[in-house]
Structure 1
């Protein structure tokens, strides 16, 4: 397939709410746009979601057109991509007119001839009138996320309250069946799920480079990669730096987080359009469901699940799940699992490592400093013993130390708690209780 392409990403503001809530009409509008461009439609899927709004995608012979709407805010996210040099602007302007958008922020991206070519982008802002644009901006600024005391942790709540007091720009605010979602631009770009910080653009590379590159550096081959979690596309961005990667499956349970990562311009820029890479195959489903099916083995498996704050998430860190993941590795394959904070939840960290080891894998713990989160832990694992001296990282990176082996030096104060680790299993699901105990001790030392 031709890799040169045209890509428009638009945030449409001040749209008619009744149009944004009409799946049939939106399907007709986008279908006419595709037909007007003379493109072949391969499949179409539009549906309404609770409490209101529409998600729709039209797969065409050269890529896709998609839309996601929030009628209560008069907002629509549009994502048009096609290979070749077809002019998408005329159809986008027509769609914005039908939606009666008062203003829009549009990213116009040009993709090069090959995967290594840079992306040329420009941000265009237009409105029906300056007054309408100002009105739309004012309305967006006034609808801030309402803090709820029963959500999040103490540290993140302190930060959120400070953000409320200062300047901010909400890029997305809403809820999926799984969680509350807030993507916000303050002095940096931040994603909160259930009021817990997932990343800050100021230092997310410290986390995602440490998550991805030691595993990729230890792997003898990189042809097939599986990413479990990581719906923001930031870890995926690092994976795609390796030219040997042929196929990536990314599995995340939340389709709205995935849609935001594909369509909100600021996040698309942060993840470098990783979901647009032809090597990437996205699965919006529960990881346990994906793992229950048969798949060809993977050279690298990256687990980027949330911390085990409750029983549901705790089931993602069981001996049984790690045993299934082990079966999906090639003989020389490498697994990496994010393993929570060494400072805030050290027993959780060691229990995750012990649970991986109980699945018959050789495990190597390591850590790095992520300023927004503190000292963060990970575990490498393989069917064979790991020699970290063999770890080399041949791709560009910015936040990792020159001596990668230094990541594997765990301070004695944390090593002392290793003896308190417990295997987390479906028959003995305790990781969520350990997490709460660790957190309470951190809050009340």
Structure 2
């Protein structure tokens, strides 16, 4: 009984020992473990909040705008229309926040974990402390998940998009904001078959973007994602990157089915969206510059394999890269 009564407090105390910042929320869901931390550097300034899933950083409020603006706005700007948008993942509502700045008619969001959606859409009152523990996070995503234009589908995206295909729906922009392929179950959501399905949902003048891990820390995995999208039948596939302090150098893959390439569309786009949509960081010039890589970055891409469904190619690339990274920081 004592363990039952105090177990949650003890667990929170143990987690506080594992994270450098104060743990203000911790929960086991059906699919994963969620941790939210708070860092107060200056009492006169807003604290920094970070989300961890299974111990891996998902975002920090200090720089998430860099990540989410780079994820959303190049693809939106490269799309011919902005009426119907599809987001795969993004249960924290931060990608949806950016999408809603384009005033779409509908946004469909597909996410696996209802507990994540609930935490980022409904007030969570802590009776012990007498506070709404997720109030800062609801403010951060600007209550995007409760916007009436947003339709949420709970379930495995690999299967759920079959329902969208059966309805013959088309989307002007598709945004894939999934965790890194650090688990075999996630590998299928980075496979050629999954991207083929998404291509069928993409309108002719639309654009699709995929978060693609770090081109610096996981170069083969990054390149493999780009090659896999190309193998899925998308006509123009390009990649871009920028520095997100919480993650380091981070990258995305962007693709179009017809017409001009994403980069050429961005170059001919006027600057109005970048000036008028209340972006905190991104400009048109920064977006275009992000498509530049070191001279020899892609020189050995012919040796990088495509992530076919069931192959676990990408999962293995990702595991090898991050294991090597961890080993390089290990003590002898």
TM-score, normalising length: structure 2: 0.83
Q: 5+ residue gaps in structure 1?
A: 1-70, 75-138, 149-156
SS of structure 2 residue aligned to 1:146: helix
The structure with more strand, counted as a fraction of residues: 1
Aligned length: 295
Q: Which has the larger radius of gyration?
A: 1
The correspondence of residues 154-193 of structure 1 with structure 2, limited to 5 A, is: 160-163=18-21, 168-170=22-24, 172-187=25-40, 188-193=48-53
Larger helix fraction of residues: 2
Contact 1:351-1:424 at 8 Å conserved across structures: yes
Choose between structure 1 and 2 for higher RCO, CA contacts under 8 A separated by at least 6 residues: 2
State the SS of the aligned residue for 2:152: strand
Q: How does 1:284-363 map to 2 (within 5 A)?
A: 284-293=154-163, 294-295=166-167, 296-361=169-234, 362-363=236-237
Q: Which 5+ residue runs of structure 2 have no aligned equivalent?
A: 41-47, 123-133
Structure 1 residues 177 and 409: alpha-carbon distance in aligned structure 2, compared to 1, 3 A threshold: same
Give per-residue Cα distances to partners, 1:406-438, cap 9 Å, x unaligned: 011112353345333211012423111111111
Quote the offset at 1:355 in angstroms.
0.5
CA shift digits 1:350-403 (9 cap, x unpaired): 000000000110201111110000110101111124123134561221222451
Q: State how 1:27-426 maps to structure 2 within 5 Å.
A: 144=12, 146-147=14-15, 160-163=18-21, 168-170=22-24, 172-187=25-40, 188-243=48-103, 245-263=104-122, 264-293=134-163, 294-295=166-167, 296-361=169-234, 362-384=236-258, 385-386=260-261, 387=264, 388-392=266-270, 394=273, 395-403=277-285, 404-412=287-295, 414-426=297-309
2:51/2:59 contact within 8 Å kept: yes
Distance across 2 between alignment mates of 1:211 and 1:271: 15
**TM-score, reference length from structure 1:** 0.63
How much has 1:266 moved relative to structure 2? 1.4
Relative to 1, partners in 2 of residues 1:374 and 1:392: Cα closer, same or farther, differing over 3 Å?
A: farther
Name the stretch that deviates more: 325-334 or 379-388.
379-388
Q: Matches of 1:145 and 1:280 in 2, distance apart?
A: 37
SS of structure 2 residue aligned to 1:190: strand
Give the aligned partner of residue 43 of structure 2. Answer: none
Q: Deviations over 1:291-316 (max 9, x none)?
A: 11124100000001110112111110
1:316 alignment partner, SS class: helix
Aligned CA-pair RMSD: 2.3
